[in-house]
């Protein structure tokens, strides 16, 4: 099997575009704000229970899941940046092959 440099270069360039889209994941500030508001509301658990006994555990579970989502998005952004650098390094190495 021969090394298909042109194909790898083409796919690498396309992959970099995909990764740049991942890097731009943003606009999640409303989720972060919602998580903060839920935390504030949970400070007075008695009041929440007065509204509905289900609210405190529901708020807690939602906050946990939002935190996980926000952390995953940040991690994905970091991976996007790092893999872009890796692929750019690959392209640099392949540019020396004729």
Instruction: Give residue 1's pLDDT band: very low, low, confident or very high (50, 70, 90).
Output: low
Q: Where are the domains of the chain?
A: 7-94
Q: Cα(first)–Cα(last) distance of the chain, in Å?
A: 17
pLDDT number for residue 85: 97
Residues 94 and 8 sit within 8 Å (Cβ to Cβ): yes
Helix (H) / strand (E) element for 34: namely helix 29-42
Tokens representing 15 are 């992959």
Q: Give me the percent of the chain exceeding a pLDDT of 70.
A: 98
Helices (H), 1-98: 5-23, 29-42, 45-51, 55-94
Q: Is the dihedral of CA 18, 21, 23, 26 positive or negative?
A: negative
Residue 26 pLDDT exceeds 80: no
pTM score of the predicted model: 0.77
């Amino acid at each position: 099997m021969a090394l298909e440099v042109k194909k790898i270069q083409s796919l690498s360039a396309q992959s970099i575009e995909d990764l740049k889209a991942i890097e731009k994941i943003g606009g999640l500030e409303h989720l972060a704000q919602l998580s903060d508001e839920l935390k504030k509301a949970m400070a007075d658990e008695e009041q929440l229970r007065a509204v509905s006994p289900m609210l405190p555990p529901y708020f807690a579970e939602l906050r946990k899941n939002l935190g996980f989502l926000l952390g995953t998005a940040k991690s994905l952004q970091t991976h996007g940046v790092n893999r872009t650098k890796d692929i750019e390094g690959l392209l640099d190495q392949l540019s020396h092959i004729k």
